[in-house]
Amino acid sequence: MDEEQRELVRTSFTKIALNPDMAAAMFYARAFTIDPGLRQLFKIDMVEQGRKLMEMLATVVDNLHKFDQISPVIRDLGRRHVGYGVKHADYDTFEAALLWAFEKVLGKDFTPAVRGAWAACYQTLVQEMKEGDDRLIETTDPRL
Establish if 142 belongs to a structural domain.
Answer: no
Establish if 42 belongs to a structural domain.
Answer: yes
The mean per-residue pLDDT over the stretch 97-106 comes to 97
Question: Which CATH number belongs to the domain containing residue 112 in this structure?
Answer: 1.10.490.10
Q: What are the pLDDT digits (tens) for 35-75?
A: 999 999 988 899 999 999 999 999 999 999 998 898 999 99
Measuring CA to CA, which residue among 87, 108, 86, 106 is closest to residue 98?
Answer: 106
For 11, the domain range is: 3-135
Residue 143 has pLDDT above 60, yes or no: no
How many domains is the chain partitioned into structurally? 1
User: What's residue 134's pLDDT?
Assistant: 62
CB atoms within 10 A of CB 78: 22
Query: What is residue 21's three-state secondary structure?
Result: helix
Residue 34 has pLDDT above 80, yes or no: yes
Give buried/exposed letters for 110-128 (b at 16+ CB in 10 A, else e).
Answer: beeebbebbebbbebbbeb
Establish if 93 belongs to a structural domain.
Answer: yes
Q: What is the mean pLDDT of the chain?
A: 90
Q: What are the pLDDT digits (tens) for 47-56?
A: 999 999 999 9
**Phi-psi domain of 126 (left: phi exceeds 0; alpha: psi -120 through 50; beta: other):** alpha
Q: What angle do helix axes 67-84 and 46-62 make, rounded to 10 degrees?
A: 160
CB atoms within 10 A of CB 40: 9
Establish if 13 belongs to a structural domain.
Answer: yes
Establish if 141 belongs to a structural domain.
Answer: no
Q: What are the pLDDT digits (tens) for 102-127?
A: 999 999 999 999 999 999 999 999 99
Establish if 25 belongs to a structural domain.
Answer: yes
